[in-house]
Structure 1
Amino acid sequence: MPPGPFTRPAPSAQPASDVPSTSEGVDGCQGASTSTGPARAGSLEGTFAAILEGRRTKEQMAAALREMHRRGETAAEVEACVRAMLRRAVRLDPGYAVVDIGGTGGDRAGTFNISTVAALVVAACGVPVIKHGNRAVTGRCGSLDLLEALGVEIPPADRVVAQLDRYGFAVAATPLVHRFPAELNEVRRSLGFPSIFNLAGPIAHPAVELSGQIVGVGWLDALPAVTGALTRLGRTQVSVVHGAGTDEPTLTGPTLLYGRDGIRQITAGEYGLAQADTAALRGGAPAVNAAICRSVLTGEPGPRRDVVLLCAGLALWTAQVAPSVHEGIQRAAAAIDEGAARALLERLTTRQIRPLTPRGDPREGAALPRGDPPEGATAPRGDPSEGAVTPLSDGARSPQARQGSRSGVVMPWRGLLGGLVVPRRETRAARVPGRELGVVRASRQGFGGMGEVVPPSAAVGGVTGPGRAPLDGLRDTRCRLEIM
Structure 2
Amino acid sequence: MASQTPEVVDIKLLLSRLWPLPAAGTPVADDIADAIALFFTNQVSEAQASALLMCLHFTGLDRRADVMAACAARMRKAAARVDPAPLRKIAAEKSLKRGQYSGGLCDIVGTGGDSHNTFNVSTASSIVASAFLRMAKHGNRASTSKSGSADLLANLKYPGEIDNETTDLVANLNYIEPATLPSIYSTTNYAFLFAPVFHPGMRFVAPIRKQLPWRTLFNLLGPLANPVDVLEDEPTDGSAKLPSPLEARVIGVARRELGPVFAEALRMTGARKAMVVCGSEDLDEISIAGPTYCWWIHEDATGSVVIDHFQLNPADFGVTAHPLSDVSPGKSPAENAATMTSILQNQRPVDDPLLSFVFINTAALMVVAGLPEDSTEGVTAPEVISERGPGGGRWKEGVRLARLAVSSGEARRQWKLFVEATNQITPTEVL
Confirm or deny a common fold (TM above 0.5). Answer: yes
- CA distance in structure 1 between the aligned counterparts of 2:211 and 2:58, rounded to whole angstroms: 16
Please state which structure has a larger fraction of its residues in helix. Answer: 2
1:249-284 residue CA offsets vs partner (Å, 9 max, x unmatched): 110111111113710000001222111111222212
Give the CA RMSD over aligned residues.
2.5
Q: Which residue in 2 is equivalent to 1:296?
A: 343
- Is 1:136 the equivalent of 2:142? yes
CA distance 1:36–1:146, change in 2 (3 Å) = farther
Equivalent residue letter for 1:152:
A
Q: 1:204 aligns with which of 209, 212, 225?
A: 225
Q: Identity across aligned pairs (percent)? A: 27
CA distance 1:105–1:352, change in 2 (3 Å) = closer
- CA distance in structure 2 between the aligned counterparts of 1:354 and 1:184, rounded to whole angstroms: 32
Q: Which residue in 2 is equivalent to 1:397?
A: none
Superposed displacement of residue 217, structure 1: 0.7
Q: Is the 8 A contact 2:278 2:292 kept in 1?
A: yes
CA distance 1:60–1:258, change in 2 (3 Å) = same
Query: Size of the alignment, in residue pairs?
Result: 330
Q: Which residue in 1 is equivalent to 2:290?
A: 253
1:29-48 residue CA offsets vs partner (Å, 9 max, x unmatched): 445854659x7232122111
Equivalent residue letter for 1:109:
H
- CA distance in structure 1 between the aligned counterparts of 2:262 and 2:193, rounded to whole angstroms: 21
Q: Which residue in 2 is equivalent to 1:348?
A: 418
- Is 1:123 the equivalent of 2:130? yes
Q: Is the 8 A contact 1:249 1:311 kept in 2?
A: yes
- CA distance in structure 1 between the aligned counterparts of 2:424 and 2:30, rounded to whole angstroms: 50
Map residues 28-43 of structure 1 onto 2, 5 A cutoff: 28-30=15-17, 34=22, 40-43=28-31
- CA distance in structure 2 between the aligned counterparts of 1:272 and 1:88, rounded to whole angstroms: 43
- Is 1:177 the equivalent of 2:198? yes
Q: 2:44 aligns with which of 53, 56, 76?
A: 56
Structure 1 stretch displaced more, 152-161 or 169-178: 152-161
Map residues 165-314 of structure 1 onto 2, 5 A cutoff: 165-207=186-228, 208=230, 209-244=245-280, 245-259=282-296, 260=298, 262-282=308-328, 283-299=330-346, 300-301=348-349, 302-314=352-364
Q: Which residue in 2 is equivalent to 1:317?
A: 367
- CA distance in structure 1 between the aligned counterparts of 2:134 and 2:194, rounded to whole angstroms: 17
TM-score (norm 1): 0.64
CA distance 1:311–1:203, change in 2 (3 Å) = same
Q: Secondary structure at the match of 1:171?
A: strand
Map residues 407-418 of structure 1 onto 2, 5 A cutoff: none
- Is 1:329 the equivalent of 2:399? yes
CA distance 1:329–1:60, change in 2 (3 Å) = same
Q: Which residue in 2 is equivalent to 1:420?
A: none
- CA distance in structure 1 between the aligned counterparts of 2:57 and 2:113, rounded to whole angstroms: 13
Q: Secondary structure at the match of 1:264?
A: strand
- CA distance in structure 1 between the aligned counterparts of 2:284 and 2:148, rounded to whole angstroms: 13
Q: Is the 8 A contact 1:347 1:353 kept in 2?
A: no
1:225-251 residue CA offsets vs partner (Å, 9 max, x unmatched): 212211222312111111131111110
Q: Secondary structure at the match of 1:124?
A: coil
Where do 5+ consecutive residues of structure 2 fail to align? 1-10, 92-103, 157-169, 231-244, 299-306, 374-393, 426-431
Q: Secondary structure at the match of 1:180?
A: helix
Higher Rg of the two aligned structures: 1
- CA distance in structure 2 between the aligned counterparts of 1:165 and 1:328, rounded to whole angstroms: 26
- Is 1:82 the equivalent of 2:68? no
- Is 1:339 the equivalent of 2:406? no
CA distance 1:292–1:194, change in 2 (3 Å) = farther
1:291-318 residue CA offsets vs partner (Å, 9 max, x unmatched): 1211222221311110111111110110
Equivalent residue letter for 2:195:
T
Where do 5+ consecutive residues of structure 1 fail to align? 1-23, 356-484
Q: Is the 8 A contact 1:48 1:80 kept in 2?
A: no
